[in-house]
A = this chain, B = another copy of it.
């Protein structure tokens, strides 16, 4: 009996030690396709996932429902939905109901200027809260699904921005000062939407759980920047988007 107790004690200590050795990563999960693929990449790299999503007054609250499904699909240890009222400041079509969502209908115009869907300093705010979470749970990495390719003209998706953020983060945190900086991981940075979709397909990402549309309809609209880029990506990847759209552009059919 004593032997059994000792064996149990040993097992328990072993489990304790192992749980200490698990590598942790905070993953920002928006509910969209990019952050979903990013979370699956983090999982593949051996991290235990601490999912973080933001409820920031965006119009497309469908994203939050998608984020929950994705966090569950990637087997996250924990999923925090963080309320942050960026709506309070206004200044973006995504959070300000007095501005309309641009309806480009034309892929060539996307990315040529900073669009009205830009939310002031959004990635900076999200990364910073992610950094706080990563430090609190003693995570090694903070994953974000930003991409500099096929991007919609947002300044905070560029490589030079991410690099500057990493330098700042190394100086900002106790972990950084003590020699264990939190790595800002942006695995999609140099991938096109087509490549992201191919990568996701390899990792069996449940694309049907993701939501990319800027509108909050029952089905994705098939007209906004985000829908158009996604459909183009699936087309060029030679894959079928499992979502059903309100309308699809002629070139997708």
Name A residues whose Cβ lies closer than 8 Å to a Cβ of B.
80, 82-86, 88-91, 114, 118-125, 127-129, 131-133, 135-137, 155-156, 158, 160-161, 164-165, 167-174, 176-178
Contacts and interface: CB of A to CB of B under 8 A. Distances in A.
Given A89-B136, A125-B129, A168-B168, A120 B84 contact: no
Given A164-B164, A164-B172, 17 more contacts: A84-B129, A89-B132, A114-B174, A120-B173, A121-B135, A121-B169, A122-B132, A124-B168, A125-B129, A125-B131, A155-B176, A155-B177, A158-B171, A160-B171, A161-B172, A164-B171, A165-B172
Number of identical protomers:
2
A125 B128 contact: yes
A115 to B, nearest CB: 10
Contacts of A125: 125, 128-129, 131-132
Nearest to A164: B168
A155 B167 contact: no
A136 B169 CA distance: 24
25 contacts: A80-B89, A83-B85, A84-B129, A89-B132, A89-B137, A91-B136, A114-B174, A114-B177, A114-B178, A119-B132, A120-B132, A120-B174, A121-B132, A121-B172, A124-B128, A124-B131, A125-B131, A125-B132, A127-B128, A155-B173, A155-B176, A156-B173, A160-B171, A161-B168, A164-B172
B135 A91 contact: yes
B132 A86 contact: yes
Contacts of A86: 132
A136 B125 CA distance: 13
A156 B172 contact: yes
The 5 A-B residue pairs with the shortest CB-CB distance in the complex, in nearest-first order:
A91-B136, A120-B135, A89-B136, A121-B132, A164-B168
A155 to B, nearest CB: 4
Contacts of A121: 128, 131-132, 135, 169, 172-173
A118 B174 contact: yes
A127 B169 CA distance: 13
- Which one of A86, A158, A161 has the greatest number of beta carbons of chain B within 10 Å? A161
A88 B79 CA distance: 11
